[in-house]
């Protein structure tokens, strides 16, 4: 109940429901789910809409609603054996922490993180390295109060999201991400070991936890010759 919006609670319920289903399995009909969850159909449909948009569910008119063809977290896999979010389990990833410090949010981050301008924000810049080769530069910003006692070493290896969950009880749930093309500036080129004006992907990501609180805003530069975003799209009958 704490989570606030019914739509979000319904969506989370469906995520849990779908978690141990195989791709293509049917979920209960909308009318049944309404009764079971005690919400109206528009609300239920709004929740399903979210999941359809992100590929978790697939609707088929007249037949039913089914789990999507694959796990969402794998849908945007980057080339080197891992998603944009989860470094590969093989453990070859390392991060060199270039900056680590707290300062007021300032005007930019105020809107990005939806905080008051004076709220302390932890800023971390890290260079992500695989097999001694620099791959990406990540600039993370998170409300400092969320992670009291976090130290740079926590972010050098392993999954940061795991640390968030297990040490700070922050349960990351969703993210909105934009990807655009750019070229490296002088600093970025040097850090990544590529020429200046080299092709690169600029990825901005806003991450939320189960309660829809904004957990982090991250702006990353990925080497254009090492990263590729793959996705699978499904059309409904009317898409042009």
Partner DNA sequence: CGGGTCAACTGGTTAAGACCACTCTAGCGC
Partner DNA sequence: GCGCTAGAGTGGTCTTAACCAGTTGACCCG
177 Cβ neighbours under 8 A, 6+ residues apart? 76, 84, 203, 204, 205, 206
Binding status of residue 91 toward DNA by CB under 7 A:
no
Residue 30, contacted partner among DNA, a second copy, none, CB below 5-8 A by kind: DNA
Residue 181, contacted partner among a second copy, DNA, none, CB below 5-8 A by kind: a second copy
Query: Dihedral (C-alpha) 97, 84, 78, 131: value to the nearest 10 degrees?
Result: 20
Please pick, from the candidates 7, 10, 15, 48, the single residue that binds a second copy as defined by CB under 8 A: 15
* Alpha carbon distance, N-terminus to C-terminus of the chain: 40
Which ranges of 114-221 does DSSP label H, i.e. alpha helix? Answer: 160-168, 186-192
H or E segment to which residue 139 belongs: strand 133-143
Binding status of residue 1 toward a second copy by CB under 8 A:
no
Return the number of other C-beta atoms located less than 10 Å from residue 124's C-beta: 22
Number of residues that bind DNA (CB under 7 A): 24
Q: Are 141 and 123 in contact (CB under 8 A)?
A: yes
Nearer to DNA, 42 or 104 (CB): 42
Binding status of residue 240 toward DNA by CB under 7 A:
no
Binding site for a second copy (CB under 8 A): 11, 15-16, 18-19, 42, 50-56, 71-73, 75-80, 83-87, 90, 158-159, 161-162, 171-183, 197, 199-201, 222, 224, 227-240
Please give the residue ranges that form the binding site for DNA (CB under 7 A): 5-7, 27, 29-32, 38-43, 45-46, 59-65, 236
């Amino acid at each position: 109940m704490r989570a606030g919006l019914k739509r979000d609670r319904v969506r989370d319920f469906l995520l849990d429901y779908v978690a141990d289903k195989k791709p293509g399995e049917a979920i209960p009909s909308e009318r049944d789910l309404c009764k079971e969850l005690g919400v109206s159909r528009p609300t239920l449909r709004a929740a399903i809409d979210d999941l359809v948009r992100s590929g978790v569910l697939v609707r088929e008119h007249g037949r039913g609603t089914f789990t999507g063809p694959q796990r969402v977290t794998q849908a945007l896999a980057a080339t080197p054996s891992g998603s944009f979010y989860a470094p590969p389990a093989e453990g070859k990833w390392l991060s060199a922490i270039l900056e680590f410090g707290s300062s007021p949010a300032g005007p930019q981050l105020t809107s990005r993180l939806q905080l008051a301008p004076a709220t302390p924000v932890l800023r971390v810049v890290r260079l992500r390295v695989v097999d001694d080769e620099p791959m990406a530069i990540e600039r993370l910003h998170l409300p400092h109060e969320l992670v009291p006692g976090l130290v740079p070493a926590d972010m050098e290896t392993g999954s940061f999201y795991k640390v968030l969950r297990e040490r700070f009880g922050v349960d990351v749930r969703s993210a909105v991400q934009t990807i655009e093309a750019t070229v490296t500036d002088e600093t970025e080129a040097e850090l990544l070991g590529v020429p200046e004006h080299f092709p690169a992907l600029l990825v901005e990501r806003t991450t939320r936890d189960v309660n829809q609180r904004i957990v982090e805003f991250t702006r990353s530069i990925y080497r254009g010759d090492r990263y590729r975003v793959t996705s699978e799209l499904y059309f409904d009958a009317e898409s042009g």
